[in-house]
Amino acid sequence: MGCVHEETFRAMRQSIIDGAPEAAATLAQKSFVLGIAPLEAIDQGFVPGMNDVGEQFTLRTVFLPDMMAAAEAMKAAMNVLEPVLKQQGTERPCAGKVILGTAKGDIHEIGKTLVGTLLTAHGFQVHDLGVDVPSDHFAAAAADLAADIVGVSALLTTTMRGQKAVVEAIEHAGLRPRVKVIVGGAPVTRRWAEEIRADGYAKDAMRAVALVQGLMGSHSDTIRVS
């Protein structure tokens, strides 16, 4: 791989770190001219930038606005690259199918959206059901889409019960233990996740990615990520 590509990959990474959607989209377009395959641009350029921001977010050296800006830049790059992947008849290897949504009665979505962006960047097929989602909708979507994992967010103590309802709905639909359920949100704790028999809990977006990757790579029914 030539130096020109290395420089381009570094610029792609920096566009994500800087939270610069226009720069990311321009670099994605430039990759076609340079003969860089879309998968290479994603995996060697843009995803490492998202990983860097995620790690800094976990370490609290950057904050939520920075993470949101990086996510927007990542989306801008993917909007350019994904149509070309489809035209070429190539697809990114699917790491797994994940359904995300915010529990019934809750309209918060920033955290859920971040998790979805990061999972997509890491090769997962993500279906976002949105906010205020009834428990039976999670179960129906998990069955219809043959999901591997269902992630339920709750930002209010009053809507955490909706996470329990989702676990129960998945069980009643006969989808457990094949379909794993993970939970997150500001008031959610590991203890709560264990109490409602969820398969995992993550307190931020990067830990959620690690949790999902662990669940997909393990034969165990329960994995916890601190």
- Digit-coded pLDDT (tens) for 112-168: 988 998 898 888 999 999 999 999 999 999 999 999 999 999 999 999 999 999 999
Question: CA-CA distances (angstroms) from residue 67 to 53, 93, 127?
Answer: 7, 25, 21
Q: Are residues 25 and 104 in the same domain?
A: no
Q: Is residue 58 part of a domain?
A: yes
Are 153 and 48 found together in one domain? no
pLDDT digits (tens, 9 = 90+) for 1-21: 445 689 999 999 999 999 999
pLDDT of residue 59: 87
Establish if 142 belongs to a structural domain: yes
The strand ranges marked E within the chain are 97-102, 125-128, 149-153, 180-184, 200-201
Of 87, 113, 146, the last residue of a domain is 87
CA distance 123 to 121: 6
The model's confidence at residue 217, banded by pLDDT at 50, 70 and 90, is confident
Report the amino acid identity of residue 220.
Answer: S
Q: What is the pLDDT of residue 4?
A: 67
Domain that holds residue 142: 97-216
pTM beyond 0.75 = yes
Going 213 to 207 to 74 to 185, the CA torsion angle's sign is positive
Rounded CA-CA distance 217/18 in Å is 32
Output helix, strand, coil percentages for the chain, rounded to the nearest 5.
55, 10, 35
Which tens digits make up the pLDDT trace of 144-158? 999 999 999 999 999
pLDDT of 78 strictly over 80: yes
